[in-house]
Amino acid sequence: MQIWGLRRDGREFPAVVSFSGWREGGERLVGMIIRDVTARHESEARLCELASLDMLTRLASRGAFMQQLGQLTEAGVPYTLLMIDLDGFKEVNDTLGHAAGDALLCHVAEQIRQACPGAVTAARLGGDEFIILLPGGSAGAGLTAERLIAAVQTPFSYHGSPVVVGASTGIAAYPEHGEDASSVMSAADLALYRAKASGKGCSVLFRPEFLAAEQRRRRFERELETAVRQQQFILHYQPRYDAGSGRLLGCEALVRWQHPARGLLLPADFIEMLVKSPLSVTLGEWIIRTALAQVRQWQVRCPELRVSVNLFPRQLSGPGLESVLRESAGGDAAFVDLEVDEPLLTGLVQEAPAHFAAIRRTGAAFVIDHYGRTLGAISLLRHGFVSGFKIDKSLTLELGTSMRVRMMFRAIAALGKSLGLSVAAEGVEDTAQRAFVTTAQCDIMQGNGLCRPLTAAAFEALLHTEDDSMTLTDG
């Protein structure tokens, strides 16, 4: 049995008492042993604490939170969930280290305690995601969310350096937005997703149409997975021309989805979803193999023909790109341009320079896509593996209306030329833009105004038509 003992100094302690009996000399004797179990009690209390608390922030753990949420739901007690995700937390971890990130999470936990004194409980779900359980309906939750977002945005000092992050929140209530704890949690998560998609730093209350949109998205995601496995994709090829002479130089391979019900879909309809999937590597390899095999056939007639392919993030950072290029190019990929967005290149080049060097040894050239859209692109030009860049079409489209853009365009092109890089202009739509691109000394131009993307058969017909001069003609 368990009792409480009393020490000489008056302090109580937990103890376990056990009895035993025996006979001795015709008498029946009883013995009692008292064991101090303070250490065991402390261990049990510690285990209970580990199960119920997040040990970093001292908020409730996910398990304890869900248990309390289930109890309230079973009792039919109305409540509101405020789900929070930090904006910019990864950058803090990457630049200042994980210790700074941990300190920031503790700071946010304290802000939650101060900003939400009426909360039933608050928990850290994991990473930089938190959740708050408020009593009652969602009527006043929006004001609480705004107060919390403002509190989180307050600068936090780490070793004398100010650290600033933002927060996005999703709001959902029981029984208004779900009939059980799981569905209310899902509703808050969908609202949070909408908040982050709306530009971050805001709160969004769940609406039923969010669920319908999510169901459509998941259905489309499954269709996309089927499309990759069943090879429902085709390639179109947009001609690329010498900006000075108009001579056909090559093409850019552009993927299209031949959807069985919706017809031909352009990348804008599916690329954003595909980029997040591991299947992007499978499709990316198919694009390289198909495009290079096709261009190698055309090179029998036009030996100097080049091809540009766009790389997915997972494809560029993965281990198989080098071998795929060598196999598809027949050993030497010197006729291949690998187009990569600047933010992706910036992140990876610092982490794996040897990886880029190995890919570059295949002969393929790295080209920065959409150059001029972000300020960080200029820092990439100091790396020797970059062979050129393509000026973003948003600048090309404003050439006729903005003197400042024309000056920027010339400066960007001159910078590339001074570094010995290949400079391409995309989005050329009319003769005026074509003339300006030429005078700006760009090397390459492409755009729907010159020639729209073509099927493989149509591009081959173009090669036959221009077999002698291979030159773009006016009009």
Q: What is the set of active-site residues?
A: 128
For the record, the structure tokens of 322 come out as: 């080098």
DSSP codes joined into one string, 28-60: EEEEEEEEE-HHHHHHHHHHHHHHHB-TTT-SB
Token pair 């221009």 is at which residue? 466
- 3-state SS string for the chain: CEEEEECCCCCEEEEEEEEEEEEECCEEEEEEEEEECHHHHHHHHHHHHHHHECCCCCCECHHHHHHHHHHHHHCCCCEEEEEEEEECHHHHHHHHCHHHHHHHHHHHHHHHHHHCCCCCEEEEEECCEEEEEEECCCCCHHHHHHHHHHHHCCCEEECCEEECCEEEEEEEEECCCCCCHHHHHHHHHHHHHHHHHCCCCCEEECCHHHHHHHHHHHHHHHHHHHHHHHCCEEEEEEEEEECCCCEEEEEEEEEEEEECCCEEECHHHCHHHHHCCCHHHHHHHHHHHHHHHHHHHHCCCCCCCEEEEECCHHHHHCCCHHHHHHHHHCCCCCCEEEEEEHHHHHHHHHHCHHHHHHHHCCCCEEEEEEECCCHHHHHHHHCCCEEEEEECHHHHCCCCCCHHHHHHHHHHHHHHHHCCCEEEECCCCCHHHHHHHHHCCCCEECCCCCCCCECHHHHHHHHHHCCCCCECCCC
Give the relative orientation of helices 141-152 and 98-115 as an angle to the nearest 10 degrees: 140
Classify 275 as helix, strand or coil.
Answer: helix
List the beta strands (DSSP E) in 318-439: 336-341, 365-371, 386-391, 422-425
Exposed / middle / buried, residue 269 (Cβ in 10 Å: 0-12, 13-18, 19+):
middle
